[in-house]
Amino acid sequence: MCIRDSYKIGIIGCGRIAQKMATTLGGMKGVARYAVASRSKEKAEHFAREWQFAKAYGSYEELANDPEVDLIYIATPHSHHYEQARMCIGKGKPVLCEKSFTANARQAESLLAYAKEKGVFVTEAIWTRYLPLSLKIQELIHSGIIGTPYTLSANLSYPVSYKERIQRPELAGGALLDIGVYTLNFAAMAFGTEIERMESSCLLADTGVDAQENITLFYKDGKMASLQSSIYAKSDRMGVISGDKGQLIVENINCPQSVRVIDDDYNVSAVYYAPQCITGFEYQVYASIEAIEKGWLESPYMPHAETLRIMRQMDELRKSWGVVFPCD
């Protein structure tokens, strides 16, 4: 067991999501903004100055070699996750890797097997899995407050088609791995994993990545989930879970802000709000630290089996759409 007064966090990547993590770490207790790495030493130094990190490295290997680093957060495009996480694990460093975990299921299987072989913790940073209100939604479903759940709808769309990492197949771009993965995880948290079949339709971008998609999941017990994502539109990000006695209406499935309970007379019977937080990223960091201290190789909030299942699900969807990455 490894218990420390303060965990020194290293970040690989200096983009927008790394900045959000830097903001988060600055407000957390028991962690330190320790090191950041980029392929550009100048970029890393600029990030370190702006966000008060102690060290800046011009290569990812240098950061992973630093004996003071306790946990590495990988905040680079999906296409880079496998190589970078494997390198960190090989050096014995616990890893919190941004979603999507890898570019495809083959990479995820290999990476998780390697982490198990090395006895090193790794988890997917799909932050919605760790949020308190996400857990409350599951509790409400299981309580029977909406009766037997039958249908679910969820949408998540942002106008992000201008971003290079979204448009390029070699960066594992497209809507599915970037934002559609949240709708799949929302459905999984609410309805479980016993899916009988999937049906979907997709509009491709000129570069060949998926730009807009509708996905329908049919469950073995008769439930059905309808999911929609787009890199062109700005959607309301709502999730609705309907049972035979009411509904749960979730505001923003990307970071649940509130859940309204609707009774069988269509009245709001209760409202639950997300607790005040720094950014919401702190929960996945604390969960990672808990796992490290307890000697776990995975987090119960996002088990390796779930990461693999959803990666395989996305592989199947991409195959049906004809979306191919060079690493496939």
3-class state of residue 259 by DSSP: strand
Q: Which residues pair with 163 in a beta bridge?
A: none
Spatial distance between the Cα atoms of 300 and 287, rounded to a whole number of angstroms: 9
Distance of CA 190 to the CA centre of its chain: 16
Question: In terms of Cα–Cα distance, which of 125, 115, 105 is closest to 85?
Answer: 115
How far apart CA 11 and CA 16 sit, in angstroms, is: 12
Sheet holding 149-157, edge to edge: 195-204, 210-219, 224-230, 149-157, 239-243, 247-251, 258-262, 268-273
Between CA 65 and CA 276 the distance in angstroms is 36
> Around Cβ 92, how many Cβ atoms within 10 Å?
11
Place of tokens 């996905």: 215
pLDDT, position 60: 98
Whether 78 and 171 have beta carbons less than 8 Å apart is answered as: yes
pLDDT for the residue 147: 98
254-264 confidence digits (pLDDT tens): 999 999 999 99
Contact present, 39 and 76 (Cβ < 8 Å)? no
Encode the chain (328 residues) as per-residue pLDDT tens digits: 455 679 999 999 999 999 999 999 999 999 999 999 999 999 999 999 999 999 999 999 999 999 999 999 999 999 999 999 999 999 999 999 999 999 999 999 999 999 999 999 999 999 999 999 999 999 999 999 999 999 999 999 999 999 999 999 999 999 999 999 999 999 999 999 999 999 999 999 999 999 999 999 999 999 999 999 999 999 999 999 999 999 999 999 999 999 999 999 999 999 999 999 999 999 999 999 999 999 999 999 999 999 999 999 999 999 999 999 999 9
Cα–Cα distance measured from residue 37 to residue 62, given in angstroms and rounded to the nearest whole number: 8
Question: What per-residue confidence (pLDDT) applies to 3?
Answer: 54
Domains defined along the chain, listed by start: 7-123+280-297 (3.40.50.720), 133-274 (3.30.360.10)
Angle CA 101–307–187, to nearest 5:
110
In 10 A of CB 325, how many CB atoms?
A: 20
- List the catalytic residues: 99
Q: Is the Cβ–Cβ distance between 191 and 149 less than 8 Å?
A: yes
Give me the pLDDT at residue 293, please.
Answer: 96
